[in-house]
Structure 1
Amino acid sequence: MLYQNLAVWIRSRALSIDVYRTLINCRDYGFKDQITRSALSVPSNIAEGCERESIKERHRFISIAKGSMGEFKTQADIGTEVGFIDREKGLQWQQEATELSKMLGALLKKL
């Protein structure tokens, strides 16, 4: 399975890039570090899982990616509420996180 061909990897990669670009000037370094790491974790764990030999290992890494997506969604919600993230952007990220989480769930079932 080539992860670069998976829609969930393509979209989560794009989301991670958007997070980095949007928060480049965020001065709350703890928040910025945490949300960028959770966003980056999703496509990274999808890629790592797809490169693993066993189905059990693939499942484990896709599951980690799904957990990171939930973490990211929570951080996007909180970041929006405290004003670190523009409301429209924050809601967009949360919606994308919901859709990506569903896609990851479907991929887990497929494995």
Structure 2
Amino acid sequence: MATIKKFEDLESWKNARIFVKDIYKATTNSDVQNDFGFQDQIRRASISVMNNIAEGFGRFNNKEFRRFLDISVGSLLEVKSMLYVAEDLEYFSSEKVEQLRNDADKIYFQLLAFITYLRNTVKHKSDNK
């Protein structure tokens, strides 16, 4: 396993970055643009996933890092829930919704594995305070 020196090295962050780009591309069609509340919320929630990974990495405390990863998971599940709205309102094709859900699931399992890893194997001096 390679040493992680910066948040940009994290696979979950890299995948979240691609996910944000895909969400932005998917929300540029006219139907979604006419629903500014939906467009804004799904974009902000997707950005929250990658930003909370980065912010947590910068805390230099595993307990705090896990807390930010938990927030990322919550934001990711919010996006996934909103994909059902997009599907029900026919904002995206069925294929696009399926692809985005699969991408969300991939990131979800990466985050859960990372949270478990931090909880069970990595101890930081400041975690005992």
Q: Same fold (TM over 0.5)?
A: yes
Larger helix percent: 1
Contact 1:77 1:91 in 2 (8 A): no
CA distance in 1 between counterparts of 2:110 and 2:85 reads 23
| Among 8, 13, 16, the residue aligned to 1:4 | 8
- Percent of pairs with identical residues: 33
TM-superposed CA distance for 1:86, in Å, is: 1.8
Deviation, 1:74, is 0.6
Mark the structure with the bigger radius of gyration: 2
- Which residue of 2 is the match for residue 21 of structure 1? 25
Choose from 40, 47, 62 the match for 1:40.
47
1:21 positional shift: 2.0
Structure 1 segments, 4+ long, off by >2 Å, are none
Amino acid at match of 1:32: Q
Taking structure 2 as the reference length, the TM-score comes to: 0.81
Measured on the aligned residues, the alpha-carbon RMSD in Å equals 1.1
Q: Could you list the runs of 5+ residues in structure 1 that have no partner in the other structure?
A: none
SS for the counterpart of 1:85 is coil
